[in-house]
Amino acid sequence: MFTRFRRKRIHPVLRDLLQETHLSVDDFIYPFFARSGTGIKTEVASMPGVYQMSIDEILKECDELKKLGIKSIILFGIPDLKDSVGSDAMCEHGIIAETLRKIKMSHPDMFVITDLCFCEYTDHGHCGVIDPVLKTVDNDITLDNLSKQALIHAEAGADMIAPSGMMDGMIQAIRGKLDAAGFVNLPIMSYSSKFASAYYGPFRDVAESSPKEGNIVGDRKSYQMNPANRNEAIAESIADEAEGADILMVKPALAYMDIIRDVRNNTTLPLAVYNVSGEYSMLKMAAKAGVIDYNAVMMETLIGFKRAGADIIISYHAKEAAALLQK
C-alpha cells in the first residue's frame, strides 16, 4: 500500500490549513536611500522601482508604506561630500542623522534601522579606513569609527543599529560604546554572515559605493566572506552572538539558502536575510523579458527565505509583496 499524500492537497481550504510556512507583511524591512535636497526621487536604472530620495520624499514614502502595513525601514545615506574616512557618517548633521530626526518627528511609529558602514561615505568606496601598507581596511581604526557612527545614530533616534562592514569585533565595540552612553536597550542587528558577492552590483549604483581602492580594484574579499565557505559563515554568526548581537543576518539570501538553514540550526536568536539588489533586479529584468510570472516568482522566493529559517526579510520587493498579501 502506498501513501496518498495528495489527499491533503485536493481541497484548497485543507491546503491552507496544512501550510507549514507563512509570509506576513510583519516580516519585511524596506530599504531607503537618502540624499540631501528637496523634491528628489531619482529611479535607479539597474533597479526599477528603487529610488534615491530626498528627506521630504522619504517622509511621503513612509505614508505609503504604512498604508501597506510595513512598519520597518532601513536607512542608507548618500552624502554630498565623501572623504577618506567617511566623515559624514560620524557627523550629527550628516545625511543619516538628519534623515533619522525628520522621520522620527513625522512618523514616530515607524521602526527605523540604520545601516552602519562607511562604503557610501568614503571616496574610495571601502567599508572603513584604508591601511596604506596593506591596501585593505584597517580593522581596529574602523572599529573606533563604527562606534562613533553608532552613537550618532542612537542620539538621532535610531530604533536599531545594523553594522554591515564585516569588521572583526564590531559588535563588541559598538555594544560597549552604546552601553557606556546609556543606550543599553538599543538592539543590534548584525550583518553577521555577509559574503563578497557579485549580487551586490545594482546596490552600488543606487548607493554610489563601488570600491575604488584595495588589494584589487572593486574587491572587498579581504573582509567580506568567501562564498564557498559554509563552516566559516556559521562561525561568523556565532561569534557575533557571543559579542552581544540581538539579531543575526545572512546576506545575500537567494544563493545562500543552505547558510540560512545552517545559522538557524546553530542559534536561537532571530535571523534576518537581505534579499539583495542583484536578486531583485534579476526578477525585474526577467519580468520585463516576459520569461516569468513576476508576482508568483517573487512570492515563491520570499516564502523560500522563510522556509529556510529566516524571521525577517529585508527586501526591495516588500511593497509589492505587501500589496499582494493584502488581497
For the stretch 10-67, pLDDT in tens is: 999 999 999 999 999 999 999 999 999 999 999 988 999 999 999 999 999 999 999 9
Q: Which CATH number fits domain 22-326: 3.40.640.10, 3.40.50.2300, 3.20.20.70, 3.40.50.300?
A: 3.20.20.70
- Catalytic option among 102, 177, 251, 306: 251
For the chain, the structural domain boundaries read 22-326
| Strands 136-137 and 130-131, bridge-based pairing | antiparallel
Annotated catalytic, 8? no
- The DSSP result for 257-319, as a single string, is HHHHHHHHHT--S-EEEEE-HHHHHHHHHHHHTT-S-HHHHHHHHHHHHHHHT-SEEEETTHH
- Percent of the chain exceeding pLDDT 70 equals 95
Provide the angle, in degrees to the nearest 10, between the axes of the packed helices 318-326 and 294-308. Answer: 100
The chain-wide mean pLDDT, for the chain, equals: 93
Looking at residue 215, its pLDDT comes to 46
Looking at residue 133, its pLDDT comes to 81
In this prediction, residues 245-251 reach a mean pLDDT of 98
Cell of 316: 526591495
Q: pLDDT digit string (tens) for 284-301?
A: 999 999 999 999 999 999
In this prediction, residues 228-237 reach a mean pLDDT of 98
Looking at residue 216, its pLDDT comes to 44
Q: pLDDT digit string (tens) for 64-103?
A: 999 999 999 999 999 888 888 888 888 899 999 999 999 9
Looking at residue 120, its pLDDT comes to 86
In this prediction, residues 242-248 reach a mean pLDDT of 98
Looking at residue 150, its pLDDT comes to 97
Which amino acid makes up residue 74? I
User: pTM surpassing 0.85?
Assistant: yes
Contact 129, 84 (CB under 8 A): yes
183: Cα separation from own chain's centroid: 22
pLDDT at residue 248 is higher than 70: yes
Looking at residue 131, its pLDDT comes to 85
- Catalytic option among 82, 194, 284, 306: 194
Looking at residue 207, its pLDDT comes to 57
Instruction: Report which secondary-structure segment, H or E, holds 65.
Output: helix 55-67
CB atoms within 10 A of CB 172: 17
Looking at residue 322, its pLDDT comes to 98
Q: pLDDT digit string (tens) for 177-211?
A: 999 999 999 999 999 999 999 999 877 666 555 66
Q: How far is CA 162 from CA 91, 173, 192, in A?
A: 18, 13, 10
Annotated catalytic, 327? no
